Structure 1
Amino acid sequence: MVDKTKIAQQFIKALPHSAALGMEFISLEDGTAGIAMDYDERFIGDPESKVISGGAVSALLDTCCGAAVLTHPKAPARTATMDLRIDYMRGAEPGQRISAYAEVYHMTRSVAFVRARAFDDDMENPVATATGAFTMEHK
């Protein structure tokens, strides 16, 4: 039996941006993933407000969605983002860790559909939400 957790962890380690952003897994289950990154001044998008850039949040959500696909019971050998829509709800509070949680909610033979949300310490009000479609590349 294939260890999907190991595959997902290898996936995140293989992505240079994941290491650069300091991403780490906080949860992994069948078809779901949680990944977090600490606040880092290198990723500030607005020097005045000190808010983390939308690009860093986008990378976190995209990576988390891909990891959720790889942990699904019908997981592919590989996956890639086909489409990802991100809605930014508010700026993350400066100094706070950002956590993303993704779930596969529908899967066809060739496409996985995923939803995700990113939060700072306020787990009631998302920083951003995402919906995406990911390839299902079977060996």
Structure 2
Amino acid sequence: MQRTMNTPSARFDAREASKWFFRHGHTGWLGLRFTEQGDNWVELELPWREDLVGDSKSGVLASGPIISLMDMASGMAIWQAGGTFNPVATLDLRVDYQRPARERASVRGRVECYRRTRSAAFVRGIAHDGDPQDPVAHVAGVFMTIGADPRKDNPALQGDSADG
């Protein structure tokens, strides 16, 4: 069915979106998995993999993949809270590590979008390896919402468009 001006768009659903997001790009390579969602939050899982270990002696996931997990969970929580997919850019994502993840353990990232304005979204969450009461890290972030593709109004950038 073709969408018209009077047909409402479908509400963003993190579970459904993850089926596409996690097949491609960096999130696909990391092997991120969707686990749960609510009205303004999303939980994702980063499975343990040997090539994602930061120190081969410890067997613990490196911090970089955990940051990527939390960044993606943040974006998806923002879209879940707003009910629609609109591009966002990470302005600030603070990660306060509490402890290393357990050896050979997957890490889950649960992020909530607790405030949205016209141009920004604010998130907070935790990363844990099985017990949310004993987090690996706490995160807090600010994301800029992007209203339109800046390439559309700039002829010099139109050749860089994925569909143009």
Q: CA deviation at 1:118?
A: 0.4
Q: CA deviation at 1:126?
A: 0.5
Q: Secondary structure of 1:100's match?
A: strand
Q: Which moved more, 1:23-32 or 1:70-79?
A: 70-79
> Any conservation in 2 of the 1:89–1:126 contact (CA below 8 Å)?
yes
- Of structures 1 and 2, the one scoring higher in RCO (CA 8 A, sep 6+) is 1
> Any conservation in 1 of the 2:88–2:143 contact (CA below 8 Å)?
yes
Matched, 1:2 2:2: no
Q: TM-score, normalised by structure 2?
A: 0.77
Q: CA deviation at 1:16?
A: 1.4
Matches within 5 A, 1:52-91: 52-73=61-82, 75=84, 77-91=86-100
> Any conservation in 2 of the 1:89–1:128 contact (CA below 8 Å)?
yes
> Any conservation in 1 of the 2:46–2:66 contact (CA below 8 Å)?
no
Matched, 1:99 2:108: yes
Identify, as 1 or 2, the structure richer in strand.
1
Residue type matched to 2:12 in 1? K
> Any conservation in 2 of the 1:84–1:133 contact (CA below 8 Å)?
yes
Deviations 1:51-93 (A, max 9, x none): 1101011111111001101111364521121111101111101
Aligned-partner Cα distance in 2 for 1:91–1:101: 17
Aligned-partner Cα distance in 2 for 1:123–1:33: 14
Residue identity over aligned pairs, in percent, reads: 30
Matches within 5 A, 1:1-139: 1-5=9-13, 8-9=17-18, 12-13=21-22, 16-73=25-82, 75=84, 77-139=86-148
Q: TM-score, normalised by structure 1?
A: 0.89
RMSD (Å), alpha carbons = 1.9
Larger Rg: 2
Structure 1's consecutive aligned runs of 4 or more residues displaced over 2 angstroms after TM superposition are 6-15, 73-76
